[in-house]
Amino acid sequence: MTATLKERAATLAALPVEFLFRALETPLAFVQRLVGVRGMPWVFLLPNLAFFGIFVVIPLFINFAFSLTGGTALYPSDRVYAGTEQYAFLFDCENFADPITCREDRFWKGIYNTAVFIFFQVSFLVLFSLVTALVLNMKIRARGFFRAVFFFPVLLSPVVVALIWKWILLRDGLLNAFLVSLGLDKILFFVSPEWAMFWAIFVSIWAHMGFYTLILLAGLQAIPPDLYEAAEVDGTSRERVFFRITLPLLWPNLLVVIVLALIKGVQIFDEVFVLTGGGPGTATQFIVQYIYNTAFTQQVQNFGLAAAASVVLGTVLFVLTLTQLAVTRKRDNG
Amino acid sequence: MAEAGTLRPGLKGLLTARRGRGGKRHWTDWFAYLYLLLGVVLMFGPVVWLTLSSFKTPAGLVEFPPTMLPLGQIAVEVEGHDKPLPLYRVTMEDGTTRELAQIRRIGIISQMVDPAAPGETLKVPIAQREPVREFRMAWENYRDPLERFDFVKYFWNSVIVTAVATIITLLINSMAAYALSIYEFRGRNAIMLLVIGTLMIPITVILVPVYLVVTQLNMVNTLWAVILPGAATPTGVFLLRQYMLTIPRDLIDAARMDKASEWSIYWRVVMPLAMPAIAVLAIFSVMWRWNEFLWPLIVLNRSEVYTLQVGLNAFQGELDVQWHYILAMTVVTLIPVVLVFAFLQRFITTGIANAGMK
């Protein structure tokens, strides 16, 4: 990247902000006279903390409160206290492994689907990201181009990703044309639950692989080159080099990638919602879609139940994020 | 590899630089290029297919098997007819083929005329004719939705959301990062903990209560409902703070000596120095906002406030799916992202590699 382009981009991004800065100079000089230099950090923090407070911290508490109430009203004052009723309803299951035996089978179907999804999605996502990163780290021509090829889907919106693939997978789409040309029958991908799940997994890997590849590639490039040179001088085979040098040194990064992919995978919604709509039936309905449907698309909007389900989801994410922090810290401290 | 190493022990550097060139090709070399080739097809192919398809007419789109390129039937001016007539390639009784223009079709018989000899009319069974086509792009797929539907409105809504949200994010995040990096004050660690804490709470976990807050603030079905809730990104604060910590303290002390106010130190001294990090955050904020889907889907229920993503989804969910318009509008939605990527790829990739954010 040339310096001029860098500068131009930066100036462009800063232009509207700069106008604001000038306008705020006098009022903030006045504020500084009031609170003194020692009070200024709080002044600088105030807007950001206000946003955090209003849109994250307070909602978090309201969420708990909601999950303990029943009824269909949105305003907490109109809702009736229900204790742990919502949780009891969610967890009323004869056999947790079989969603049909649960009173709220849609919730458990969502959990079950999400579990299947992340098991396959995360394993293959990590596998393909690793292979891609290894290939891109080799001495290949036009590396920048190939890196861009694998990376660009990351920037596409989930709606665009889903529509691109939906168009290919339709009954008269490109893939079926290919199958017919091979002498096979057309497959109705969105009518079969297994195929729908397969494509949900495939498309989400296609869309997100580049992100994890980049992290792993950065990790690969941080491995000291003299280790490889020494191995080469010793005539060590490439397979051995991979298992004895690359993999152990990349392992901390690989762990970070796995946990990050898990965190994203648990929250899967956008692409699959546009691609399959959760169908056929509930075959690709995940936890987030369950929450969304329960709270916002049903005739009777069940905010309490949705809140309880989000508390469950939040707990899972909390545990995963703590793991992520621990793993990242371990990686960065060596 | 070992042979090459013993042959030219002094050329260690050269050998590592062009591994495999001198000796036998390792299987991983073949695998690498095969993998990359497959990657190009699998990653680029779908987008190329989308773009090609978006220029096809509705008739061209339902064709099976589909044609590679968008095609249109050639029409020719024939003497004695007001309108141009569609051209067909006809297999005649004697096995020869002629290019004829169709005047009209009656049942399974087509009345045709030779453009070269317009006097004579021929009757041909329709099974024996095939349209003569040329490469033609159906620009009306792009023009119509922009003129007749609300897509321009959706586009502008998306632009407004992206621009306003990014400005707010940059402003409040950089202010917070400045406070957390330049000052030593009581409670700083507690605030940092809060920032990291909010990192753990994605919007998917608090959909219902944030919807309540937005309703209370009377913002449902306004663009503010999309802009404000995500404005204070913990990732942004974190990224900017890490960068600002590297700014030399002497600069700030010198500015204080000159009696600069804290606000001017922030925006005249620290902000310009933090520009690389600000640029990364700006790019990411633009990406996040342009692509955001779930939250706008919840708070925008009226079509005049739809963003592009929500509008596109509503469009594809209709009973009578008009794929020729959907494909074209998907390409329109994609263009800004492709432009940003083409020009700022380096920023984005280093941003991800350094901060691990998305």
> Tens place of pLDDT for every residue, chain A, 334 residues?
455 776 777 677 667 667 888 888 889 889 998 888 888 999 999 999 999 999 999 999 988 888 888 877 777 777 778 778 788 887 877 777 777 777 788 888 898 999 999 999 999 999 999 999 999 988 888 888 888 889 889 889 999 999 999 999 988 889 998 999 898 988 999 999 999 999 999 999 999 999 899 889 988 988 888 888 888 888 888 888 889 889 999 988 898 888 889 888 988 999 999 999 887 988 999 999 999 998 888 888 888 888 899 998 988 888 888 887 788 787 777 6
Whether B64 and chain A come into contact, CB under 8 Å, resolves to yes
Cβ-based neighbour number of residue B298 at 10 Å? 22
Q: Nearest C-alpha of chain A: how many angstroms from B121?
A: 37
Chain B interface, best mutation among A62, A155, A322, by max B CB count within 10 A: A155
Q: What is the pLDDT of residue B355?
A: 59
Predicted confidence (pLDDT) at residue B2 exceeds the cutoff of 70 = no
C-beta of residue B19 within 8 angstroms of C-beta of residue A139: yes
Predicted confidence (pLDDT) at residue B11 exceeds the cutoff of 50 = no
Rounded Cα gap, residues A41 and A48, in angstroms: 12
Whether B358 and chain A come into contact, CB under 8 Å, resolves to yes
Q: Which residue of B has its CA nearest to A142?
A: B36
Rounded Cα gap, residues A83 and A67, in angstroms: 8
Q: What is the pLDDT of residue A103?
A: 79
Whether A20 and chain B come into contact, CB under 8 Å, resolves to yes
Domains of chain B: which residue ranges? 71-135, 142-355
Q: What is the pLDDT of residue B99?
A: 81
Whether B352 and chain A come into contact, CB under 8 Å, resolves to yes
Q: What is the pLDDT of residue B276?
A: 83
Helix (H, G, I), strand (E, B) or coil at B280: helix
Q: Which residue of B has its CA nearest to A229?
A: B16
Whether A135 and chain B come into contact, CB under 8 Å, resolves to yes
Tell if the CB–CB gap between A155 and B348 is shorter than 8 Å.
Answer: yes
**Chain B residues close to A303, C-beta within 8 Å:** 208
E strand spans, chain B:
71-73, 75-76, 85-91, 97-106, 109-114, 117-125, 129-131, 133-135
Q: pLDDT category, B319, cuts 50, 70, 90?
A: low
Rg (CA), chain A: 25
Tell if the CB–CB gap between B1 and A163 is shorter than 8 Å.
Answer: no
Least confident of A254-263, B62-71, B162-171, B224-233: B62-71
Q: B89-115 pLDDT, tens per residue?
A: 888 777 788 888 888 888 788 888 887
Tell if the CB–CB gap between A156 and B194 is shorter than 8 Å.
Answer: no
Tell if the CB–CB gap between B39 and A165 is shorter than 8 Å.
Answer: no
Q: Which two tokens stand for residue B135?
A: 């490469």
Of the candidates B5, B202, B232, which has its C-beta nearest A51's C-beta?
Answer: B232
CB contacts under 8 A, A 141-180 vs B, are 146-160, 163-168, 172-174, 176-177, 180
Q: pLDDT category, B310, cuts 50, 70, 90?
A: very high
Of the candidates B201, B294, B341, which has its C-beta nearest A60's C-beta?
Answer: B201
ipTM over 0.90: no
Any idea which residue has 């963003």 for tokens?
A: B307
| CA nearest neighbour of B98 among B73, B111, B115, B85 | B115
Rounded alpha-carbon distances, angstroms, from residue A12 to A22, A255, B148, B240, B271: 17, 38, 33, 18, 14
**Chain A residues close to B170, C-beta within 8 Å:** 13, 17
Q: Nearest C-alpha of chain B: how many angstroms from A117?
A: 18
Tell if the CB–CB gap between A13 and B19 is shorter than 8 Å.
Answer: no
Mean pLDDT of B123-142: 79
**Chain B residues close to A176, C-beta within 8 Å:** 64
**Chain B residues close to A233, C-beta within 8 Å:** 5, 12
CB contacts under 8 A, B 172-231 vs A, are 172-173, 175-176, 178-180, 182-183, 185, 188, 191, 194-196, 198-202, 204-213, 215, 228-231
Of the candidates A45, A159, A260, which has its C-beta nearest B313's C-beta?
Answer: A159
Tell if the CB–CB gap between A159 and B333 is shorter than 8 Å.
Answer: yes
Predicted confidence (pLDDT) at residue B22 exceeds the cutoff of 70 = no
Of the candidates A20, A60, A233, which has its C-beta nearest B12's C-beta?
Answer: A233
**Chain A residues close to B353, C-beta within 8 Å:** 214-215, 217-218
Q: Nearest C-alpha of chain B: how many angstroms from A233?
A: 7
Q: What is the pLDDT of residue A134?
A: 92
Tell if the CB–CB gap between B212 and A59 is shorter than 8 Å.
Answer: yes
Chain B interface, best mutation among A40, A48, A239, by max B CB count within 10 A: A48
Q: What is the pLDDT of residue B198?
A: 80
Map B133-179 to HEC letters: EEECCCCHHHHHHHHHCCHHHHHHHHHHHHHHHHHHHHHHHHHHHHH
Superfamily of domain A105-332: MetI-like (1.10.3720.10)
Whether A15 and chain B come into contact, CB under 8 Å, resolves to no
Any idea which residue has 């780290």 for tokens?
A: A137
Class of domain B71-135: mainly beta
Mean pLDDT of B175-180: 94
Domains of chain A: which residue ranges? 1-33, 105-332
The CATH code that applies to domain B142-355 is 1.10.3720.10
% of chain B surpassing 90 pLDDT: 24
Q: What is the pLDDT of residue B9?
A: 38
Rg (CA), chain B: 31
**Chain A residues close to B259, C-beta within 8 Å:** none
Any idea which residue has 């296609």 for tokens?
A: A206
C-beta of residue B325 within 8 angstroms of C-beta of residue B141: yes
| Averaged confidence pLDDT in chain B | 82
